[in-house]
Amino acid sequence: MSEQAQIDGLKFAREGRRLQGVLAVRELPRLQDLLADSSGKIDYTFAGSVNGRGKPVLDIDVSGSLALVCQRCLGRMEYELRRSARLILIEGGQPLPDVADEDPNAENIAAGDVSDVADIVEQEVLLGLPIAPTHPDEKCDARPELPRDELRSPFAELSKLKKR
C-alpha cells in the first residue's frame, strides 16, 4: 500500500488527535474479490479521545463509493458506503470487560491491534458492506417481466388439476 500510516492508538486517543485521509480502493487487497472493479476511493477520519470511564477511544468514520457485484444479475452496482465505529482500546495486560459492562455502541479491542491505518480502514469497509448486495428490483436486469397471467399462484394451478 502506498500510504503506510501508522499510529500508536493509546497515545493518539489520549492526546485527542485527529487524522483524515484518502485510500484508493485498489490498495485494499481483502476487498478486491467483492468488487466489480477497483476504481474509487475511501475517505476516512480517525478521532481520538478519552471516554467518561477514562478509557482511550478511537472514533472512525469511513465513506466512499464502491463498485460491487449485484448478486442477482451479476452486473455492476454502485454502493455508497458510510460507516462509523467506536473502538475502546484495551491496554496490554488488562482484561476485557464483562459483557454486562460493555458499551453496546462500541467495540473493545486490544490497543496493540490498532496501529496500521489502512488495515483498520479496510476492516471497517468490509464490516460496512451488505452480505448480498442487489440492485433495487426496478433497476435489476435479472428480474424477468412476466405476463400477468403467468404470475398466478401455483396453488391455483393445482386447484385446476384437482377439478379435472
Other C-beta atoms closer than 10 Å to the C-beta of 15 total 13
Report residue 2's pLDDT band, with 50, 70 and 90 as the boundaries. very low
User: Looking at this protein, which amino acid is placed at residue 82?
Assistant: R
Q: Which run of H or E residues covers position 121?
A: helix 117-128
pLDDT of residue 100: 66
Strand 41-50 versus strand 18-24 pairing type: antiparallel
pTM summary value: 0.77
pLDDT, mean of residues 26-51: 93
pLDDT of residue 144: 57
pLDDT, mean of residues 86-115: 80
pLDDT, mean of residues 121-142: 89
Which residues have C-beta within 8 Å of that of residue 117, sequence separation ≥ 6? 3, 5, 6, 7, 19, 21, 44, 46
Least confident of 37-41, 59-63, 89-93: 89-93
Parse the chain into domains and list their residue ranges: 9-163
